[in-house]
Amino acid sequence: MTPAAQLEGFLARYDPAIARQGRAALRTLRKLLPGAVELVYDNYNALVIAFSKSERAGDIVLSIALYPRWLTLFFMHGAKLKDPTKRLQGSGSKIRGVRLADAGDLDDGDVVALIEQASATARFGKRALIIKAIVKKQRPRRPK
């Protein structure tokens, strides 16, 4: 099975509305970050697609996480980003996120500015889709 088919299988386990939002978010992020390596982690709590300069987790710039009821855009170095409109949530020493009401939030000027700021120094090469981890024990992907 190809990585694209595997990713589609992961998305299909979500409620159709969340899966649609996830696909739309991926299309938008692929346009904004051409050449990024996509690292897929089918984790316990969420399906995470990270956009990176390479196959290394340490090179991840940002990621989109699908939860049963929402999507969140995470910035690996979000604590260092300038956020004049206070869109970023979280208080960790590195990671900050923006909970998306829907994938259209990725077109919001403030969110696009954060994405551009986070990826400004990244040197992306050739796009690749790599399944990095599939955790056997997972929370349900659809709300109860």
Which parts of the chain sit beneath pLDDT 70?
Answer: none
- At 112 the pLDDT is 96
- At 144 the pLDDT is 78
| pLDDT tens digit sequence for 83-123 | 999 999 999 899 999 999 989 999 999 999 999 999 999 99
- At 20 the pLDDT is 97
Burial of 17 (0-12, 13-18, 19+ CB in 10 A): exposed
Is 119 contained in some domain? yes
Q: What distance in Å separates the CA atoms of residue 56 and residue 23, rounded to the nearest whole number? A: 23
Domain with 130 in it: 3-134
Question: What predicted TM-score, i.e. pTM, was given to this entire model?
Answer: 0.95
The domain tally of the chain equals 1
Is 141 contained in some domain? no
Q: What distance in Å separates the CA atoms of residue 68 and residue 74, rounded to the nearest whole number? A: 16
Is 53 contained in some domain? yes
